[in-house]
Structure 1
Amino acid sequence: MAVPWKAVGAIVLVLAGAAGAWQLQDWRYGKQLAEQARLHAETLNQLTMAAATAQQAEQDKRLALEQRLAASDKTHSEKMTNAQKDQALLRDRLATSDLRLSVLLDAGSAGGCSVPATAGPGGVDHATVRARLDPAHAQRIVAITSEGDRGLIALQACQAYVRALAPSRYE
């Protein structure tokens, strides 16, 4: 059987048309995919830049917080050191009898003495009766107040730390 050349020609034309259409679709979809890939890359780049900016902002916040905390720590350390120096000086003065602690006595417990107490040098409390404390008791009182002072300074440091971490909640 002889194949008619017209039929072969028509088949070739149909196949060529199909191949051409296939190639045209490939170019068109390839162009769309390339554009989509470019847009996707731009979006990823913008997201990366936004994330880097946000990360830098968070690092700046953290650095500022660390600097504030370091300054606060330095301030409270200085307060603690000064308080300890003052307390040591007071203990030394009490130990050497350079300073004597005294307490006010109730006027009724003074034995009914109506004679005013002698005022010390530079003192103006004429009608008060005072009793000097034993140096050992005075040392214990100073130790107790020293512990209290250190506790208050530590509490202030803790409060400053919490305020630095969450300033909007505790102001």
Structure 2
Amino acid sequence: MTPVQKLAGLVVLILVAMATSFGAAWQVQDWRLGRVVTEQGAQFETDLTAIGNAAAAQARTEQDKRLATEQQLAALDQQHTKELSDAQRKQALLRDRLATADVRLSVLLDATDSASGCNMPATPGAVGVVHATRRAQLDPAHAQRIIGITDAGDQGLIALRACQAYAKEVSTPK
């Protein structure tokens, strides 16, 4: 074997050793990078699960708040509907009593007004239960109109209270 052949064999041996070490280093780096990527993937999966659980818990909390508010509003609505129907029933009963003359609406008269022309006595008599005030009865048709006006006013006040309760319930932070 000649020195050139020895040198060529040595160069080939060095190149083979370098290629083998380069391949081994490449494989080790691939294993390390694969492990890092796997660890990052696992951490990402854990983080994603935690974020999903937190979002689901917050959504449940918000849904529970919404359901509680809806239930409170439904209860308020029932209460105000009952108040409205009670007021309407009372007004209808009063209108019926006025129509059948069971009840008569009257107004107080000014005792000092001589122009009223009412000859009702200001002092109680032996037979009546007048309390020293002069009163005049209203015409039934006028009484019916007055009752209608007060009925509309009562319904408006009940509706206003319902709106105020709704606005308060919706705007109050929980």
Taking structure 2 as the reference length, the TM-score comes to: 0.88
How big is each residue's C-alpha offset from its partner over 1:28-78, in whole Å with a ceiling of 9 and x where there is no partner? 111111111111110000000000000000000010011001000000000
The answer to whether the aligner puts 1:32 opposite 2:25 as a matched pair is no
8 Å contact kept, 2:124–2:130: no
Tell me which of 160, 168, 171 is aligned to 1:166.
Answer: 171
Taking the aligned partners of 1:120 and 1:37, their CA distance within structure 2 comes to 103
8 Å contact kept, 1:110–1:129: no
Distance 1:70 1:153, change over 3 A: same
One-letter identity of the residue aligned with 1:153: I
Distance apart, 1:123 and its partner CA: 3.9
The answer to whether the aligner puts 1:64 opposite 2:75 as a matched pair is no
One-letter identity of the residue aligned with 2:122: P
8 Å contact kept, 2:111–2:134: yes
Structure 2 portions without partners, runs of 5+: none
Taking the aligned partners of 2:139 and 2:92, their CA distance within structure 1 comes to 18
Tell me which of 50, 53, 58 is aligned to 2:54.
Answer: 50
Q: Which residue of 1 aligns with 2:122?
A: 116
The answer to whether the aligner puts 1:83 opposite 2:56 as a matched pair is no
1:137-148, aligned counterparts within 5 Å? 137-148=142-153
More deviation, 112-121/59-68? 112-121
SS in 2 for 1:57: helix
Structure 1 portions without partners, runs of 5+: none
8 Å contact kept, 2:69–2:170: yes
Taking the aligned partners of 2:72 and 2:28, their CA distance within structure 1 comes to 66
Distance apart, 1:118 and its partner CA: 4.4
SS in 2 for 1:99: coil
How big is each residue's C-alpha offset from its partner over 1:118-162, in whole Å with a ceiling of 9 and x where there is no partner? 46988452x211010000100010000000000000001001101
State how many pairs are aligned.
Answer: 168
Distance 1:148 1:167, change over 3 A: same
Taking the aligned partners of 2:126 and 2:87, their CA distance within structure 1 comes to 28
Distance 1:131 1:114, change over 3 A: closer
* Percentage of pairs with the same residue: 49
